[in-house]
Amino acid sequence: MDHYTVEQWADFARQVTAPDVASKMQRHLDSGCRDCARSLNAMKKVVELAGREATYEPDSGIVRIAKTLFAGQSQASADRIREILPLVFDSFAQPAMVGVRTAVATSRQLLYRKGSCCIDLRIEHVPGAKEAILVGQVLDSGQQGRDVASILVELMTGEKVIASTATTSYGEFQFLFPAERQLELCFGISSQNIFWVKIPPLETIPESGMVISG
């Protein structure tokens, strides 16, 4: 008994087989060929799955983040203006309050600003682990008509990207990463502009906190 190929059964299941050939294939099935019946059943499941896939729509938030991340990667080789935002506030540079002998600092607050663009960061070690948490917020994108949502943020050491994410509707973002030196954050504000901030060495933030003498 001659059998039909999987490709032929795939066309049969999609109902694109010529009528005369489809009649012959149906008679072949009616004759009791189990191998071809199994092939047809498998192809029917594939057709059904493909039909469901065509109507599937992912969550809009996931689509927004994915588009932002991929757009940022595709722009990596483009000629863009690289602007380094200077550090304007460092909590470790602030003197202890008068009359306070000691204070324990378990985190470090940093503020970067250039023009109207403003980025706030907080860095702290994870207790008992050689990792650090970076929580940040873009307060102003510095671009007219550009809000603080869906901005690609990449955590980098040298030319290596450690992690990447996109800002929320409030400009917030967060990273958990191994404590390394010479870290930078790259913000893909637009296709023409990227903003960079240099993070101070993290070894200055001890796991158990830093004692500041008053």
Do 124 and 144 meet the contact criterion of CB atoms below 8 Å apart? Answer: no
For 130-159, give one letter per residue: b (16+ CB within 10 A) or e. eebebebbbbebbbeeeebbbbbbbbbeee
**Average pLDDT, stretch 172-194?**
83
Instruction: Return the top range by mean pLDDT from 13-27, 70-84, 174-188, 194-208.
Output: 13-27
How much is the pLDDT for 60?
66
**Average pLDDT, stretch 98-102?**
50
Do 120 and 111 meet the contact criterion of CB atoms below 8 Å apart? Answer: yes
How much is the pLDDT for 135?
94
How much is the pLDDT for 180?
64
Torsion angle, alpha carbons of 93, 163, 81, 140, to 10? -60
User: Residue 89: which pLDDT band, with cuts at 50, 70 and 90?
Assistant: very high
**Average pLDDT, stretch 75-80?**
50
Burial class (CB in 10 A: 0-12, 13-18, 19+), 211: exposed
108 pLDDT more than 80 = yes
The two beta strands, 117-125 and 107-114, are: antiparallel
Least confident of 1-10, 11-20, 115-124: 1-10
Q: Report the percent of the chain where pLDDT is more than 70.
A: 70
Tokens, residue 93: 């540079």
**Average pLDDT, stretch 167-183?**
85
User: Residue 211: which pLDDT band, with cuts at 50, 70 and 90?
Assistant: very low
- Determine the number of helices (DSSP H) and then strands (DSSP E) in the chain: 4, 12
What is the edge-to-edge ordering of all strands in the sheet holding 152-157? 81-84, 193-199, 183-188, 152-157, 160-166
Q: Return d(Cα 110, Cα 88) in angstroms, integer.
A: 8
User: Residue 93: which pLDDT band, with cuts at 50, 70 and 90?
Assistant: confident
66 pLDDT more than 50 = yes
122 pLDDT more than 50 = yes
**Average pLDDT, stretch 110-134?**
86
pLDDT digits (tens, 9 = 90+) for 11-31: 998 888 999 999 999 998 898
202 pLDDT more than 80 = no
Do 77 and 57 meet the contact criterion of CB atoms below 8 Å apart? Answer: no
How much is the pLDDT for 103?
46
User: Residue 53: which pLDDT band, with cuts at 50, 70 and 90?
Assistant: low
Q: What is the pTM of this model?
A: 0.56
Do 107 and 205 meet the contact criterion of CB atoms below 8 Å apart? Answer: yes
Q: Give the DSSP H/E element, type plus range, for residue 73.
A: helix 60-74
